[in-house]
Structure 1
Amino acid sequence: MSTWSEDELCKIAEADDLHISPFREDGVTYGTPTWIWSVVVGDAVYVRAYNGKASRWYQAALRQKAGRITVAGMTKEVTFEPVDGPINDLIDDAYRAKYRSSPYLAPMIGSRARAATVKILPRETTT
């Protein structure tokens, strides 16, 4: 399994432009990029679906488990893992710190979005 570099994590932590594209049903074609908020906690990148588990990109991410993201001028092949448990408290704190002035913060740390938390990991690709 691949990991994020310190430089990548810093860029992602500072960026407000993450676009997520899970694979479509064929497992080859990328879905339409969806702009979402992202946070970095420790050595990992996390995102949440504003509309919760009903969100299309969230459902595709769980089903396909892979795709790509574009953020801070980088395009990365990635995998997606659902997240649950105590790490969500740290993710909430990261959302509060990064997006404290946004009127959308409360829903992003609410139970609906929190239930749709995804960890994004870089994926090794073969050429």
Structure 2
Amino acid sequence: MPTWTMDELKRIAEATELDLESERSDGSLREPVTMWVVRAGDGVYVRSVKGRSGPWFRGAQAQRQGRISSGGVRKDVTFTDADPADWPSVDAAYHAKYDAYRGIVDRVLTEQARESTLKLLPH
């Protein structure tokens, strides 16, 4: 299984945002959605502020693959549900990276947002 290189992890971690394009059933890509992204360990994670009912999240769940762009890294990825055991480290990564945006960062730390945590796997 392909993994992120250390350079890719570093560049994505240093980037403020990520553009995510989920794949449609015909293989074409949806319009990109810009969101926050964090690195926790050797994983790359995103969350939906609106939880599992958020429009981009539902699109990502349909085919479970797409493409991301962040920090100069452009990569085809698979979207997998993050293990709930990883949520605390993802929470900590969001705090470390985005606490300067107090008030806004809290929106990705709700239980609803946690339940939508996706791990991005390169392919």
* 2:82–2:117 contact (8 Å) kept in structure 1: yes
Structure 1 length-normalised TM: 0.92
Distance 2:83 2:75 in 1: 24
Tell me what 1:16 maps to: 16
Q: What is the number of equivalent residue pairs in this alignment? A: 122
Q: Mark the runs of 5 or more structure 2 residues left unpaired by the alignment.
A: none
Segments of structure 1 that go 5 or more residues without pairing to the other structure are none
- Higher helix share goes to which structure? 2
Give SS of 1:86's match.
Answer: helix
Match of 2:71 in 1: 72
Residues in 1 aligned to 2:104 and 2:25: alpha-carbon distance in whole angstroms: 31
Runs of 4 or more consecutive aligned structure 1 residues displaced over 6 Å after TM superposition: none
Task: Find out whether 1:44 has 2:43 as its counterpart.
Answer: yes
Indicate the residue corresponding to 1:105 in structure 2.
Answer: 105
In structure 1, the partner of 2:82 is 83
Identity of aligned pairs, percent?
Answer: 39
Measured after TM superposition, the shift of residue 84 of structure 1 is 3.6
Look up the match of 2:116: 116
Q: Which residue of 2 aligns with 1:3?
A: 3
Listed one character per residue, the Cα deviations across residues 54-110 of structure 1 (whole Å, up to 9, x for unaligned) are 112111212201100011122111100012422101100000000001131111111
